[in-house]
Amino acid sequence: MVARTPSRRALLGSIGAATTALAGCVADDDDPQVGLGEVQLVNYLEDDVTATVTIHRAEELEYEVDHELEGYRAREVGADVSDETSIRESWMGDRVHYTVDVRTDVGSLETTYSTSDVEELVDDWGESECFTLLLRIDSDRISTALGTSETCPSDE
């Protein structure tokens, strides 16, 4: 039996169909399910700290600000107090890739967190449109936690 070589027209048609199918798959995988709605930064160190927060939205620098946070202390009445700041901007909330980088002036404390990290941790966002990233500055690391929100800053 002799193998037939496909015609040029058939070959080009199959490449076009395969490219279109692949593009649909890639676009779906690349679009985050939720947007970044808010970043909360909390200082649990005893000393004051300067934390530089940098946020890239769709690979473009949108935010780079130094935040001065007072040290953690206990009040006389027994209530623990930590200094914190929230970042919630009108450009946040779109379903694009975000990268949040935090560097401190304390030793080598820094962390980077991205939309891809969030997508790996959460399978079902339910009714949530955005996520909140909580960054807690401790003596040996910057730990992270996630929250959800049904509304985004871009919706307000």
Identify whether 17 is part of a domain: no
29 inside domain:
no
Q: Say if 134 falls within a structural domain.
A: yes
**pTM of the prediction?**
0.74
pLDDT tens for 140-155 read 899 999 988 888 887 7
Task: Report if residue 8 sits inside a domain.
Answer: no
> Three-state SS across 41-74?
EEECCCCCEEEEEEEEECCEEEEEEEEEECCCEE
pLDDT per residue as tens digits for the range 99-135: 999 999 988 889 999 988 888 877 777 888 889 999 9
Number of domains in the chain: 1
pLDDT average, residue stretch 76-88: 74
Residue 4: band (very low, low, confident or very high) from pLDDT cuts 50, 70, 90: very low
Cβ-in-10-Å burial (0-12, 13-18, 19+) of 107 comes to exposed
Instruction: Write the DSSP symbol of residue 149.
Output: E
Q: Say if CB 66 and CB 50 are below 8 A apart.
A: yes
Identify the domain containing residue 79 by its residue range.
35-155
Asked, for residue 9, whether it belongs to a domain, the answer is no
Q: Is residue 144 part of a domain?
A: yes
Kindly report the CATH number assigned to the domain that includes residue 62: 2.60.40
